[in-house]
Amino acid sequence: MEMSYLCIRNLRFKIVKVMKQIAFSLKSLMVIGLVGWSMSSFAQSYRIDRGRVYFERESMPYADARTFVDLGCGYAKDCDNVYLDGRVLEYVDPSSFRLKPHSKSHFRDHYDSYDHGRRYDDYYKSDRNVYYGDKKIDASPSSFKEIGEGYAKDAFNVFYHGRKIDASAGSFKLLEGGYAKDAFDVFYYGKKIEGASAGSFKYTGDGYAKDAFHDYYRGRRLE
Protein backbone atom coordinates (compact mmCIF):
# COMPACT_ATOMS: atom_id res chain seq x y z
CA MET A 1 0.00 0.00 0.00
CA GLU A 2 2.79 2.36 0.93
CA MET A 3 4.68 1.40 -2.24
CA SER A 4 1.63 2.19 -4.39
CA TYR A 5 1.22 5.60 -2.71
CA LEU A 6 4.86 6.45 -3.40
CA CYS A 7 4.51 5.47 -7.05
CA ILE A 8 1.41 7.64 -7.48
CA ARG A 9 3.12 10.56 -5.76
CA ASN A 10 6.19 10.20 -7.98
CA LEU A 11 3.99 10.04 -11.08
CA ARG A 12 2.13 13.21 -10.06
CA PHE A 13 5.46 14.99 -9.54
CA LYS A 14 6.63 13.99 -13.03
CA ILE A 15 3.34 15.14 -14.59
CA VAL A 16 3.57 18.54 -12.89
CA LYS A 17 7.18 18.90 -14.04
CA VAL A 18 6.27 18.07 -17.64
CA MET A 19 3.35 20.55 -17.55
CA LYS A 20 5.66 23.32 -16.33
CA GLN A 21 8.12 22.58 -19.14
CA ILE A 22 5.30 22.72 -21.71
CA ALA A 23 4.04 26.03 -20.30
CA PHE A 24 7.56 27.50 -20.40
CA SER A 25 8.00 26.36 -24.01
CA LEU A 26 4.69 27.95 -25.03
CA LYS A 27 5.64 31.24 -23.37
CA SER A 28 9.01 31.19 -25.15
CA LEU A 29 7.34 30.61 -28.51
CA MET A 30 4.93 33.48 -27.87
CA VAL A 31 7.78 35.84 -26.98
CA ILE A 32 9.77 34.82 -30.06
CA GLY A 33 6.68 35.30 -32.22
CA LEU A 34 5.99 38.75 -30.80
CA VAL A 35 9.61 39.83 -31.25
CA GLY A 36 9.66 38.52 -34.81
CA TRP A 37 6.41 40.30 -35.63
CA SER A 38 7.66 43.51 -34.06
CA MET A 39 10.95 43.40 -35.96
CA SER A 40 9.22 42.67 -39.25
CA SER A 41 6.83 45.57 -38.71
CA PHE A 42 9.70 47.99 -38.17
CA ALA A 43 11.79 46.53 -40.99
CA GLN A 44 9.31 47.52 -43.68
CA SER A 45 7.59 50.89 -43.82
CA TYR A 46 5.20 50.22 -46.67
CA ARG A 47 3.32 46.98 -47.31
CA ILE A 48 0.48 45.75 -49.48
CA ASP A 49 -2.09 43.39 -48.00
CA ARG A 50 -5.26 42.18 -49.75
CA GLY A 51 -5.22 44.98 -52.26
CA ARG A 52 -4.66 47.76 -49.71
CA VAL A 53 -1.51 49.79 -49.04
CA TYR A 54 -0.25 50.44 -45.51
CA PHE A 55 2.43 52.63 -44.00
CA GLU A 56 3.53 51.52 -40.52
CA ARG A 57 0.21 49.70 -39.95
CA GLU A 58 -1.90 52.68 -41.04
CA SER A 59 -4.05 52.22 -44.12
CA MET A 60 -3.50 54.46 -47.15
CA PRO A 61 -6.96 54.32 -48.78
CA TYR A 62 -5.99 56.81 -51.49
CA ALA A 63 -3.04 54.68 -52.72
CA ASP A 64 -3.37 52.42 -55.74
CA ALA A 65 -2.05 48.97 -54.77
CA ARG A 66 -1.74 47.75 -58.36
CA THR A 67 0.80 50.41 -59.32
CA PHE A 68 2.31 51.15 -55.90
CA VAL A 69 6.13 51.07 -55.69
CA ASP A 70 8.25 51.48 -52.56
CA LEU A 71 11.22 53.63 -53.62
CA GLY A 72 13.04 53.41 -50.28
CA CYS A 73 14.00 56.07 -47.74
CA GLY A 74 10.33 56.70 -46.95
CA TYR A 75 9.41 57.56 -50.54
CA ALA A 76 6.90 55.69 -52.68
CA LYS A 77 4.67 56.32 -55.67
CA ASP A 78 1.76 54.92 -57.62
CA CYS A 79 0.02 55.97 -60.83
CA ASP A 80 -1.52 59.02 -59.17
CA ASN A 81 0.76 60.32 -56.42
CA VAL A 82 4.21 60.44 -54.84
CA TYR A 83 4.40 59.74 -51.10
CA LEU A 84 6.79 60.57 -48.28
CA ASP A 85 6.28 58.66 -45.01
CA GLY A 86 2.75 57.81 -46.08
CA ARG A 87 1.80 61.40 -46.95
CA VAL A 88 0.99 62.66 -50.44
CA LEU A 89 3.51 65.12 -51.86
CA GLU A 90 1.35 67.68 -53.59
CA TYR A 91 2.12 68.90 -57.12
CA VAL A 92 4.65 66.10 -57.73
CA ASP A 93 4.25 64.20 -61.00
CA PRO A 94 4.73 60.45 -60.32
CA SER A 95 5.53 59.69 -63.96
CA SER A 96 8.71 61.77 -63.87
CA PHE A 97 9.63 61.47 -60.18
CA ARG A 98 12.97 59.78 -59.44
CA LEU A 99 14.65 59.42 -56.07
CA LYS A 100 18.22 60.66 -56.21
CA PRO A 101 20.63 58.15 -54.61
CA HIS A 102 22.79 59.38 -51.74
CA SER A 103 24.61 58.13 -48.68
CA LYS A 104 22.43 56.89 -45.82
CA SER A 105 24.71 58.61 -43.31
CA HIS A 106 25.11 62.33 -43.58
CA PHE A 107 27.29 64.67 -41.59
CA ARG A 108 27.63 68.44 -41.79
CA ASP A 109 29.45 71.05 -39.82
CA HIS A 110 28.19 72.94 -36.77
CA TYR A 111 26.10 75.29 -38.88
CA ASP A 112 23.85 72.45 -39.95
CA SER A 113 22.12 69.53 -38.30
CA TYR A 114 23.69 66.10 -38.07
CA ASP A 115 21.55 63.15 -38.95
CA HIS A 116 21.99 59.43 -39.51
CA GLY A 117 19.52 57.95 -41.94
CA ARG A 118 17.34 59.47 -44.57
CA ARG A 119 17.90 63.12 -45.40
CA TYR A 120 14.88 65.36 -45.27
CA ASP A 121 16.67 68.26 -46.98
CA ASP A 122 17.43 67.07 -50.50
CA TYR A 123 16.58 68.95 -53.66
CA TYR A 124 14.63 67.06 -56.29
CA LYS A 125 12.57 68.04 -59.28
CA SER A 126 9.83 66.85 -61.58
CA ASP A 127 9.09 68.09 -65.07
CA ARG A 128 7.13 71.03 -63.66
CA ASN A 129 8.44 71.86 -60.19
CA VAL A 130 11.47 71.87 -57.89
CA TYR A 131 11.32 70.74 -54.26
CA TYR A 132 13.45 70.96 -51.18
CA GLY A 133 12.42 68.13 -48.89
CA ASP A 134 8.62 68.10 -49.25
CA LYS A 135 8.34 71.84 -49.91
CA LYS A 136 7.99 73.38 -53.34
CA ILE A 137 10.46 76.18 -54.09
CA ASP A 138 10.26 78.96 -56.66
CA ALA A 139 12.75 77.57 -59.16
CA SER A 140 12.78 76.66 -62.84
CA PRO A 141 13.10 72.86 -63.33
CA SER A 142 14.61 73.16 -66.80
CA SER A 143 17.64 75.15 -65.63
CA PHE A 144 17.83 73.99 -62.00
CA LYS A 145 20.99 72.27 -60.75
CA GLU A 146 22.63 71.52 -57.43
CA ILE A 147 26.03 73.08 -56.81
CA GLY A 148 26.92 71.39 -53.53
CA GLU A 149 26.97 72.03 -49.78
CA GLY A 150 23.29 72.96 -49.79
CA TYR A 151 23.57 75.42 -52.68
CA ALA A 152 21.62 75.21 -55.92
CA LYS A 153 20.64 77.58 -58.69
CA ASP A 154 18.54 77.99 -61.78
CA ALA A 155 18.88 80.55 -64.57
CA PHE A 156 17.64 83.35 -62.33
CA ASN A 157 18.16 82.60 -58.63
CA VAL A 158 20.50 81.01 -56.10
CA PHE A 159 19.25 78.85 -53.22
CA TYR A 160 20.76 77.70 -49.96
CA HIS A 161 18.98 74.74 -48.35
CA GLY A 162 15.84 75.67 -50.26
CA ARG A 163 15.97 79.34 -49.28
CA LYS A 164 16.47 81.95 -52.00
CA ILE A 165 19.49 84.17 -51.32
CA ASP A 166 20.39 87.54 -52.81
CA ALA A 167 23.05 86.37 -55.25
CA SER A 168 23.65 86.52 -58.99
CA ALA A 169 23.00 83.11 -60.54
CA GLY A 170 25.11 83.80 -63.61
CA SER A 171 28.34 84.44 -61.70
CA PHE A 172 27.72 82.41 -58.54
CA LYS A 173 30.25 79.72 -57.71
CA LEU A 174 31.08 77.50 -54.77
CA LEU A 175 34.46 77.88 -53.08
CA GLU A 176 35.71 75.66 -50.24
CA GLY A 177 35.13 75.62 -46.51
CA GLY A 178 31.51 76.79 -46.75
CA TYR A 179 32.40 79.93 -48.71
CA ALA A 180 30.81 80.93 -52.02
CA LYS A 181 30.69 84.10 -54.09
CA ASP A 182 29.25 85.83 -57.11
CA ALA A 183 30.58 88.85 -59.00
CA PHE A 184 29.58 91.22 -56.21
CA ASP A 185 29.32 89.47 -52.83
CA VAL A 186 30.80 86.69 -50.70
CA PHE A 187 28.75 84.18 -48.71
CA TYR A 188 29.44 81.83 -45.83
CA TYR A 189 26.90 79.03 -45.51
CA GLY A 190 24.29 81.12 -47.27
CA LYS A 191 24.90 84.29 -45.27
CA LYS A 192 26.41 87.34 -46.95
CA ILE A 193 29.75 88.55 -45.54
CA GLU A 194 29.31 92.29 -45.38
CA GLY A 195 32.19 94.30 -46.85
CA ALA A 196 34.08 91.36 -48.36
CA SER A 197 35.62 91.97 -51.77
CA ALA A 198 34.36 89.28 -54.14
CA GLY A 199 36.94 90.03 -56.83
CA SER A 200 39.93 89.26 -54.61
CA PHE A 201 38.35 86.83 -52.15
CA LYS A 202 39.85 83.36 -51.82
CA TYR A 203 39.83 80.48 -49.38
CA THR A 204 43.17 79.74 -47.68
CA GLY A 205 42.27 76.62 -45.67
CA ASP A 206 41.11 75.48 -42.21
CA GLY A 207 38.19 77.91 -42.19
CA TYR A 208 40.37 80.90 -43.11
CA ALA A 209 39.93 83.15 -46.15
CA LYS A 210 41.09 86.55 -47.28
CA ASP A 211 40.51 89.34 -49.75
CA ALA A 212 42.69 92.32 -50.71
CA PHE A 213 41.87 94.12 -47.46
CA HIS A 214 41.01 91.67 -44.67
CA ASP A 215 41.38 88.16 -43.32
CA TYR A 216 38.39 86.01 -42.36
CA TYR A 217 37.78 82.98 -40.16
CA ARG A 218 34.58 81.00 -40.55
CA GLY A 219 32.85 83.90 -42.20
CA ARG A 220 33.91 86.53 -39.66
CA ARG A 221 36.34 89.31 -40.41
CA LEU A 222 39.47 89.30 -38.26
CA GLU A 223 40.49 92.68 -36.89
Tens digits of per-residue pLDDT, 26-63?
555 554 454 444 444 444 589 999 899 999 888 999 89
- pTM to 2 decimal places: 0.51
Of 83-97, 127-141, 170-184, where does the model show the most confidence?
170-184
Provide φ and ψ at 33, rounded to 5°.
Answer: -65, -45
DSSP sequence for 137-200: ES--TTT-EEEETTEEE-SS-EEETTEEES--TTT-EE-STTEEE-SS-EEETTEE-TT--TTT
What is residue 5's DSSP assignment? H
Tens digits of per-residue pLDDT, 132-145?
887 889 999 999 99
Q: Taking 60 as the threshold, does the pLDDT of residue 202 lie above it? A: yes
pLDDT classification of 3: cutoffs 50, 70, 90:
very low
Min mean pLDDT across 11-20, 23-32, 77-86, 213-222 is at 23-32
Q: Determine the pLDDT at residue 16.
A: 55
Tens digits of per-residue pLDDT, 119-173?
445 788 888 899 988 788 999 999 999 998 889 999 999 999 899 999 999 999 9
The answer to whether 74 touches 118, Cβ cutoff 8 Å, is yes
pLDDT classification of 18: cutoffs 50, 70, 90:
low
Q: Determine the pLDDT at residue 122.
A: 79
Q: Taking 70 as the threshold, does the pLDDT of residue 23 lie above it? A: no
- Alpha-carbon distance of 67 to 157, in angstroms, equals 37
Q: Determine the pLDDT at residue 141.
A: 93
